[in-house]
Structure formats: C-alpha cells, structure tokens
C-alpha cells in the first residue's frame, strides 16, 4: 500500500500569513492527489484536485503544487475563515487520506 504522510500535524498562524502544508507519498503517484478543508462539525470541502487544479468556487489564495511523491498546499494570505483542518488524499492506489493538518491561531 502507498503510505501518505502529511505535515505538520498542526500549525499556528495569523491572518495574512502565507501557509504551506506538505503531503508526501511512499511511492510515485503522478498527480493523483487531492486536498480538502474541514471545519468543525462540517463535511470536508474539496479545494484542489489533481495536485494543482482549483475546484470551482474556491478562492484563488489556495493553490496546490507537486508531483510524483511530494505535494504542497499553499494559502497565500490566510483569512479568518481558513482556520480549519486540511487533508490530502492520494487516489493513485486506493484512496487513503493524510493524517490532517490543523491550522489555528
């Protein structure tokens, strides 16, 4: 099975900060990597699919990059509504999620 390692598990940031979250896989997955945002008590929301494609309706301050085994989600200027938990998901071999990154103040 392909392992997915997401880091950090949590981070503290302020409004306006640039935030970067990393996802690493144990084998190459090309660009089969998606990113989700989840706020407490809510279902996850798709942000990025195929490593770098912004889902319709998602603000442009979110971006994704990477390929093969190393991927990054970047929030260019953190907004109050962005304080949430973020998950990556590889879909090359089965569909496991990363462990999550909680972005807090």
Partner 1 sequence: QVQLVQSGAEVKKPGASVKVSCKASENTFNTYYVHWVRQAPGQGLEWMGIINPSGETTNYAHKFQGRVTLTRDLSTTTVYMELSNLRFDDTAVYYCGRRMRGAPYDALDIWGQGTMVTVSS
Nearer to partner 1 among residue 17 and residue 31 (C-beta): 31
Instruction: Give the whole-angstrom CA distance, residue 85 versus residue 92.
Output: 23
Q: Pick one of 20, 27, 28, 99: the residue that binds partner 1 (CB under 8 A).
A: 99
Question: Is residue 62 at the binding interface for partner 1, with CB under 8 A as the rule?
Answer: no
Asked whether 34 and 91 are in contact (CB, 8 A), the reply is yes
Q: How far is the CB of 24 from partner 1 (least distance, A)?
A: 16
Instruction: Give the whole-angstrom CA distance, residue 58 versus residue 47.
Output: 6
Question: Is residue 59 at the binding interface for partner 1, with CB under 8 A as the rule?
Answer: no
Size of residue set near partner 1 by CB under 8 A = 25
Please list the residues that pair with 39 across neighbouring strands: none
Which residues within the stretch 70-89 sit at the binding site for partner 1 (CB under 8 A)? 87, 89
Q: Which helix (H) or strand (E) holds 103?
A: strand 101-104
Question: Is residue 66 at the binding interface for partner 1, with CB under 8 A as the rule?
Answer: no
């Amino acid at each position: 099975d392909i392992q997915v390692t997401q880091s950090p598990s949590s981070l503290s940031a302020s409004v306006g900060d640039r935030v970067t979250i990393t996802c690493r896989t144990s084998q190459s997955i090309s660009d089969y990597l998606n990113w989700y945002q989840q706020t407490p008590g809510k279902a996850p929301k798709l942000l990025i699919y195929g490593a770098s494609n912004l889902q319709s309706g998602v603000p442009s301050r979110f971006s994704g990059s990477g390929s093969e085994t190393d991927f990054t989600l970047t929030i260019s200027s953190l907004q109050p509504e962005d304080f949430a938990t973020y998950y990556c998901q590889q879909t090359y071999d089965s569909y496991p999620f990363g462990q999550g990154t909680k972005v807090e103040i």
